[in-house]
Amino acid sequence: MEASGTDEVDKLKTKFMSAWNNMKYSWVLKTKTYFSRNSPVLLLGKCYHFKYEDENKMLPGRSGCTIEDHIIAGNVEEFRKDFISRIWLTYREEFPQIEASALTTDCGWGCTLRTGQMLLAQGLILHFLGRGWTWPDALHIEDSDSDSWTSNTVKKFTASLEASLSGERELRTPAVSLKETIRKQSDDHEAQNEIYHRKIISWFGDSPVAVFGLHRLIEFGKKSGKKAGDWYGPAVVAHILRKAVEEARHPDLQGITIYVAQDCTVYSSDVIDKQTDSVTSADARDKAVIILVPVRLGGERTNVDYLEFVKGVLSLEYCIGIIGGKPKQSYYFAGFQDDSLIYMDPHYCQSFVDVSIKDFPLETFHCPSPKKMSFRKMDPSCTIGFYCRNVQDFERASEEITKMLNISSKEKYPLFTFVNGHSRDFDFTPTAASEEDLFSEDEKKKFKRFSTEEFVLL
């Protein structure tokens, strides 16, 4: 009876926290964010200029143009579509109970895990869909009751495929024009993209079976002394994400790995080893890699001298965002305008969505409105993410990132560096861990250090 009473108290606490966080943060989604027409906006390596918006309204046929068309590149609609297409992962409530706890929500403590999920999700979007991909229904997100042309196309394509497999369609060979063939190929491509879009989101579902879901990340966190309800810092989350990707057994995830920088140093040979460790004569393809770099942008407060560094990072095509925030709140930073950072906020408690069902709703996984925050309010602890498709891409990225580091660094030494060779060549040899222990002793020591150094997150 006593245990049951304790569980009831815990459930009441979680319900109260959910209600409190919704009251505290839900208004943020309804407030407007203002952007200047006179300054460019950078979003994960893409540049937008809103000053061209009025001219765009006078141009015919803009729906047939692409972001790369310099005449209309960067209008507000294109930026909104790009931003909304990023995957948004927030607090959830009423999901399956987390093992060894009474928690059915992460309200009040899971924000850094959520921002880490968002960064990883962006890396997976680059891996499977590419940076040019946008969700066709992005601009219809506020009107979820109406089906867009693209969603209807996907449904028709799926129904057509199912009908052909069941033999319900009559066998016929109509004459098909080149225009119709191209359109069908485009529809098929969009349908395939939609399959991967849903698959990526499903990997972050709030259930014990989701490979990158909250339940799985918490399990990996236990190996570092963390448990459900604890606060997680950006560096700890970086290592948890690495373990989650390494342990993922889904066939589609065997072509990607994660490397976490050691003491602000990326050892190039270690990265390449991770990319080529499973290369065989039958499959000569090297792996893609997500590089996570935990850094500190100052002491107790962020040093404003690092503003150009952060801008430089978010301007790179390889960047997949920053796990950061301001004191007591974690945000996913994805861009900037002038001296303000553009971010997605996980502090909005939404209802659990069962991603295992067919055609689960996507709207709550896409943020309808970007938010801005002054760089001066940023907490100094953060983790930066980069994506490289193969070894050649990594070598090119390391050169470009190094140039950016040298240009943006006002100090004698950059915030982090790329070093040729292995970490073991520099007497950095982690202690071997047993098979039952996912984290080495050195990693556990780091976790303890990070936990004391990083800000407290709510």
Q: Which of 127, 345, 379, 388 is the catalytic position? A: 345
Number of Cβ within 10 Å of residue 196's Cβ equals 16
Q: Which of 347, 379, 382, 388 is the catalytic position? A: 347
Relative to beta strand 265-267, strand 417-419 is parallel
Calpha distance 88→84 (Å, rounded) = 8
**C-alpha dihedral (172, 178, 182, 187), degrees to nearest 10:** -30
Residue 230 known to be catalytic:
no
**C-alpha dihedral (268, 269, 275, 281), degrees to nearest 10:** 150
Q: Check residue 173 and give left, alpha or beta (phi > 0: left; psi -120 to 50: alpha).
A: beta
Q: Which of 111, 349, 382, 388 is the catalytic position? A: 111
Number of Cβ within 10 Å of residue 4's Cβ equals 8
Residue 187 known to be catalytic:
no
Q: Which of 9, 3, 47, 92 is nearest to 314 (CA)?
A: 47
Are the beta carbons of 214 and 118 closer than 8 angstroms? no
Find tokens 């301001």 and name the residue.
326
Q: At what angle do helices 111-128 and 234-247 cross, to 10 degrees?
A: 50
Q: How many helices (H) and strands (E) does the chain have?
A: 12, 13
**How far, rounded to the nearest angstrom, does the alpha carbon of residue 368 sit from its chain's CA centroid?**
16
Residue 47 known to be catalytic:
no
Are the beta carbons of 330 and 379 closer than 8 angstroms? no
* Cα-based angle 454, 349, 457 (whole degrees, multiple of 5): 10
Q: Tell the burial category of 352 from Cβ atoms under 10 Å away from its Cβ (0-12, 13-18, 19+).
A: middle
Calpha distance 201→364 (Å, rounded) = 11
Length of the chain: 458
Six-digit token string for 338: 């002038």
Are the beta carbons of 83 and 67 closer than 8 angstroms? no
Identity at 99, one-letter amino acid code: E
- Residue 344, strand partner residues: 332
Write out the catalytic residue numbers: 111, 345, 347
